[in-house]
Structure 1
Amino acid sequence: MSRWIEVAVGVETSGELAIVEAAASAYALRGTAIQSDPPMLRAWFSEDERAGVEAMSAAIVAALPQARTTATSIEDAGWSEAWREHFHAQHIGGIAIVPSWERETFADAVRAIVEIDPGQAFGTGLHPTTRGVLLALQELDLDGCTVTDVGTGSGILALAVARLGARRVHACDIDPVAVRAARENVRRNGLESRVHVARCSADLSGVPSARIVTANLTAGIALALARALRALVEPAGTLLLAGIVGAREREVLQAFEPLGFTVRARRAEGEWVGLALGVPAA
């Protein structure tokens, strides 16, 4: 039986937990679980990803020196049970996010069902940033439109927009683990004809433009990609930008507004902010 590395990060407040989440998001690609009382983040890595453990731990210490980080080796069964303990079917507006092990018994009447195996990459709907984008998408008219999902993780947003009526969805990520996970979830949902998943470069070169662009990133990554993201949004289109800690919202807006973006909507949950940014028709 294979073994995994479980990293647990303890903090004192919800604000500190948000800082840890932001620092961990670029490294914890196989999944995280958030505990509120006491505040704690857990992330999992395979045994051959020790470099990722060290990189994430260093990023967390740099962002929040007082965070308490421990790493423990667990068996594969422990990894699976950890996800089953933390992740169950959930309603986000009219969308149901259903883990693969509960799909056969799920019978609720909803607008759309997205089946996810979360034990592979970031994106289960549990995180406030993912929930915020899923709610924002349900406020848009997606029938027949094109969508590009940057930093797709598990593919949850790409799958949701396809279920909500998008004609073509391009999902991309720089991490091969996320690409494999997203492709498997596309297959699991039977959406291969409408959702294309590809690995992309860090500067997003070659990524197709679309009327709707989703980017659930971090403030730092969003700032670095501001011009590249602007190039992806077609005239009169919308960028749904999430993963922003509230303390950095003004900094993000100061970078995006000069590029022609205007705020169409804002959504906040706890320490996290999501923005719907529009561009002019011409």
Structure 2
Amino acid sequence: MLEERWLSVQVIAPPDAWDAVATALLEYGCTGVELREAPPRVMGYLPEAQAHQIEPIRERLALFPQFGLPPVLEVSVEPVQAQKWQRSWRRYFRSRRYGNRLRVQPSWSQRKPQPDEIAIVLDPGMAFGTGNHSTTALCLELLEQYVSPGSRVADIGTGTGILAIAAAKLGAGEVIAVDNDSLTVLIARNNIDRNGVKDRVRVVEGNGWHALHGEFDLILCNILSGFLIDTAPLVPCYLREGGVYIVSGFIGRNAHRVRRALEDAGLRREEVRKRRSWVAAVFRKA
């Protein structure tokens, strides 16, 4: 399965258009998207078998100005194989420390964590989430502050499993990690096994919130603002009284819309953190 051929769809566009670009890529078959800052662009990854979706993607993006969105500057497509993807990660995925204790490093790193560090070892494969992006880094820092010993945690859109693993290593008693892509689920499970937390972390292949059961002390959702806004009414159904909802994946311009949707759902904003143009926020169920 790891030898499946993929297409990389690169869309160069202003950050104000990123949410709409990412939504279009996902709707037309991309199994994941990645936001990059230099130059500002959205990367989508489409199975080669879905190559017929390229033209509809281009047509959808060309309509943006009609809806008041900034125009897309360029769309390019090129093939990428799993082995090439993994080699490219090695060029820039390095051991890094987040917050006071967390250290994230690739499986091929020879660096030994310090005695006071909690190490998270990842092999990203074809999944997303290494800590390099500002939104993941912000979530890691907030997790360190808000995870309580023995708490029940959910991670929606787990990717590599990085946040779920961090929650478990910070003391969570049970973590449910959800993703809707079968290959990503496999990669997350391998990373969870590699980090020795499979007794507390369960990966579920499913459709976001609808894959969850019961209530949680803390829920993570590092996904685009459109998803956060659309699913805001569901959040209180899955949070215990006093429970915490950590969200990221959106830029400052969209922060007020995310806040309004979650406050309308009955949550209270507790904290906001920013890094470059990216935002993470903590909401609590009163």
- The reply on whether 1:99 has 2:106 as its aligned counterpart is yes
Query: Larger relative contact order (C-alpha < 8 A, sep ≥ 6)?
Result: 1
Letter in 1 for 2:12: G
What is the alpha-carbon distance in structure 2 between the residues aligned to residue 57 and residue 169 of structure 1? 39
- C-alpha contact 1:29 1:153 (8 A) present in aligned 2: no
Q: What are the ranges of 5 or more consecutive residues in structure 2 without an aligned counterpart?
A: none
Q: TM-score, structure 1 length as denominator?
A: 0.85
More moved, 134-143 vs 161-170: 134-143
Q: What are the ranges of 5 or more consecutive residues in structure 1 without an aligned counterpart?
A: none
Which runs of 4 or more aligned residues in structure 1 lie more than 6 Å from their structure 2 counterparts after TM superposition? none
When residues 76 and 153 of structure 1 are mapped into structure 2, their CA distance, relative to the original with a 3 A threshold, is closer
Q: TM-score, structure 2 length as denominator?
A: 0.84
Letter in 2 for 1:48: A
When residues 21 and 231 of structure 1 are mapped into structure 2, their CA distance, relative to the original with a 3 A threshold, is same
- The reply on whether 1:230 has 2:236 as its aligned counterpart is yes
When residues 35 and 277 of structure 1 are mapped into structure 2, their CA distance, relative to the original with a 3 A threshold, is closer
Letter in 2 for 1:108: P
- The reply on whether 1:185 has 2:191 as its aligned counterpart is yes
- C-alpha contact 2:156 2:208 (8 A) present in aligned 1: no
- C-alpha contact 1:132 1:267 (8 A) present in aligned 2: yes
- The reply on whether 1:142 has 2:148 as its aligned counterpart is yes
What is the alpha-carbon distance in structure 2 between the residues aligned to residue 229 and residue 263 of structure 1? 13
- C-alpha contact 1:114 1:189 (8 A) present in aligned 2: yes
- C-alpha contact 2:157 2:179 (8 A) present in aligned 1: yes
Q: Say which of 72, 77, 100 aligns to 2:78.
A: 72
Deviation string 1:93-149 (CA, Å, 9 cap, x unpaired) is 2211111121xx121315211111112212111111111110111112421111111
Letter in 2 for 1:183: R
Letter in 2 for 1:277: F
* Structure 1 residue aligned with 2:12: 10
Report matched runs for 1:1-282 at 5 Å: 3-11=5-13, 16-17=14-15, 19-20=17-18, 23-24=21-22, 27=26, 29=31, 32=34, 34=36, 36=38, 38-50=39-51, 62=64, 64-93=70-99, 94-102=101-109, 105-109=110-114, 110-204=116-210, 206-280=212-286
Letter in 1 for 2:51: R
Letter in 1 for 2:268: T
Deviation string 1:205-227 (CA, Å, 9 cap, x unpaired) is 54332111111111110111112
RMSD, aligned α-carbons: 2.7
Letter in 2 for 1:4: W
Aligned-pair CA distance for 1:197: 0.8
Letter in 2 for 1:23: V
When residues 53 and 232 of structure 1 are mapped into structure 2, their CA distance, relative to the original with a 3 A threshold, is farther
- C-alpha contact 1:22 1:245 (8 A) present in aligned 2: no
Paired residues, number? 273
Deviation string 1:147-192 (CA, Å, 9 cap, x unpaired) is 1111212211100011111111111122323222211211121211
When residues 258 and 8 of structure 1 are mapped into structure 2, their CA distance, relative to the original with a 3 A threshold, is closer
More moved, 39-48 vs 176-185: 39-48
Aligned-pair CA distance for 1:243: 1.2
